[in-house]
Amino acid sequence: MAAVVAVHSYAGGAGKSHLTANVATLLALDGLRVAVVDLDIPAPGLHLLFAIADADMGYCLKDYLMGECEIEDTVREVGAGLGLAAGGALFVVPSSMDGERILDLQQRGYDIALLGAAIRRLVDRFALDVVVLDTHAGTNDESMAAFAVADTVAVVLRPDLQHTRGSQLTVSLARQMGVPRIVMVLNLVAAGVDLAALRARTEEQYRCEVVAVLPDCQEMTALGSGGVFVLLHPSHRLTRCYRDVASRLRG
Ligand SMILES: Nc1ncnc2c1ncn2[C@@H]1O[C@H](COP(=O)(O)OP(=O)(O)OP(=O)(O)O)[C@@H](O)[C@H]1O
Ligand SMILES: [Mg+2]
């Protein structure tokens, strides 16, 4: 059975999209069949990390939600040339950055049940081991649909009051929805912070396991969303942290 992981944060800019792209890539490198889905419909961007050009976007999640294609038509395979272990595969379901289409979908609305149906169909059709859902920050329909279908919700937060306070709401919603496993990922942690104390405090505050504490890295800032970090910096400390997350989420 595939593991479905929803990556969420209460406040924006927590590092969800980078976590999604990097963890999915590491799992595919290990030989798993992995798909990432950009559920951040109002502000998509996951495809940029995988260098999918605007011209190559083709059908996107919105086209499926508007009934204009099948979910299979939106899938891009991006694992070629990455040196995946035998059996590994990496797929992306992008959302388009076409502003008119985003507004059109938001105004017309769509059947939210289509999202869960799409994920189940992707798992079957592509024989997936893992699906990672990148969500929009805060409480919104797509994120709640992701929680409904996920085995695990990974709550990403920065050491910042908006994130720490808001994550209580995220964790509480996930609990109310009966998500089987809720874990926390602390990101953008400054040098010099006592990591063990931060982890213990966070676990006590949310009564959830902290699966990793990720440092604030200049090399990531310099990358500027122009690629998948772990491929460019395989021996970096941040890559080791992403590996810790991947090993805890693989199901
Ligand atoms: N560990 C890190 N060190 C330094 N910069 C980071 C780190 N993680 C993420 N970033 C940077 O933080 C910014 C936000 O990251 P990302 O886009 O993954 O967040 P997000 O939660 O998906 O944001 P949004 O809510 O807008 O979708 C990006 O510029 C990214 O390069
Ligand atoms: Mg994002």
pLDDT of 55: 83
Residue 12 in contact with ligand 1 by CB distance below 6 A: yes
- Give the C-alpha separation, 227 to 88, whole Å: 19
Percent of the chain with pLDDT over 90: 92
- The ligand minimizing its distance to the Cα of 137 is 1
pTM: 0.97
- The ligand minimizing its distance to the Cα of 46 is 2
- The ligand minimizing its distance to the Cα of 226 is 1
pLDDT at 251 over 80: no
Q: Whose CA is nearest to atom 14 of ligand 1?
A: 13
State the sign of the Cα–Cα–Cα–Cα dihedral 103, 57, 29, 126: positive
Angle between the N-to-C axes of helices 237-249 and 16-29, in degrees from 0 to 180, rounded to the nearest 10: 80
CA dihedral 12, 193, 172, 111 (to 10 degrees): 30
Residue 225 in contact with ligand 1 by CB distance below 6 A: yes
Residue 40 in contact with ligand 1 by CB distance below 6 A: yes
State the sign of the Cα–Cα–Cα–Cα dihedral 239, 242, 248, 249: negative
- Give the C-alpha separation, 47 to 225, whole Å: 10
pLDDT at 1 over 90: no
Residue 21 in contact with ligand 1 by CB distance below 6 A: no
Per the structure block, which two tokens stand in for 47? 């495809």
Residue 13 in contact with ligand 1 by CB distance below 6 A: yes
Model pLDDT for residues 82-141, shown as the tens digit of each residue = 999 999 999 999 998 888 889 988 899 999 999 999 999 999 999 999 999 999 999 999
Ligand 1 centroid from CA 220, angstroms? 9
Ligand 1 centroid from CA 188, angstroms? 8
pLDDT of 97: 87
Ligand 1 centroid from CA 193, angstroms? 19
End-to-end Cα spacing for the chain: 9
- Give the C-alpha separation, 162 to 160, whole Å: 6
Ligand 2 centroid from CA 251, angstroms? 23
Model pLDDT for residues 2-35, shown as the tens digit of each residue = 999 999 999 999 999 999 999 999 999 999 999 9
Model pLDDT for residues 202-213, shown as the tens digit of each residue = 999 999 999 999
Give the residue-averaged pLDDT of 242-249: 97
pLDDT of 182: 98
Neighbour order of strands in the sheet with 89-93:
76-77, 89-93, 33-38, 130-134, 3-8, 152-157, 181-189, 209-215
pLDDT of 219: 98
Atom of ligand 1 lying closest to residue 156 CA: 21
Ligand 1 centroid from CA 98, angstroms? 22
pLDDT of 127: 98
What b/e sequence results for 128-148 when a residue is b if at least 16 CB atoms lie within 10 Å of its CB, and e otherwise? bbbbbbbbbbeeeebbbbbbb
The residues with which 209 forms a beta bridge, in sequence order, are: 183
Q: How would residue 56 be classed by pLDDT, with cut points 50, 70 and 90?
A: confident
Mean pLDDT of the chain: 96
pLDDT of 9: 98
pLDDT at 225 over 80: yes
Ligand 2 centroid from CA 171, angstroms? 19
